[in-house]
Amino acid sequence: MTSTAKWLRAGVLALAALQTLVSVWQYAFTRSFFDDFPTVRLDPPYNEHLLSDVGGLGLALAAMLIYAAAVMERRVVLLALTGYVIYAGTHFLFHVRHFDHFSLRDAIGVGTGLGLEWALALVLLYVAWRHHRAS
């Protein structure tokens, strides 16, 4: 395996780890996620069904990323990263348009964190596309 493929696998696994952590929290401990995750309390009222569904979808996305990192097959990696880019991008764009009740610190933290997550996914998608095109 080339060094690019190793870095690509590590990046995909990092996204999978972050997605798994948040999704397990959302799915298994919905009330705790709503009450304790920074800035979620600023969203509309608690809805266990919605949080559980979102957590389950996040776990499905994490499973796709883990599988992609395990097999490193061109189409699987590109598909998993494309799905993640869409998710991370829409999540980021929603939040940067809804900072009305956020403190400046929370807005910067959420915007920066979600923006970096989306940027990492975009970079990994580009690297995967270039790597698989070259091989």
Q: Splitting the chain (135 residues) into consecutive groups of 10 residues, what average pLDDT does each group show?
A: 92 95 92 86 79 91 97 96 96 91 92 96 96 81
Q: 97-106 long-range CB contacts below 8 Å, 24 or more apart?
A: 101/42, 102/39, 102/42, 106/38, 106/39, 106/42
Model pLDDT for residues 56-93, shown as the tens digit of each residue: 999 999 999 999 999 999 999 999 999 999 999 999 99
Query: What is the pLDDT, as a whole number, of residue 61?
Result: 96
The structural domain count of the chain equals: 1
Question: Looking at the whole model, is its pTM more than 0.85?
Answer: no
What is the span of the domain harbouring residue 97? 3-134
In the chain, % helix, strand, coil (3-state, to 5) comes to: 85, 0, 15
Which tokens go with 75?
């189409």
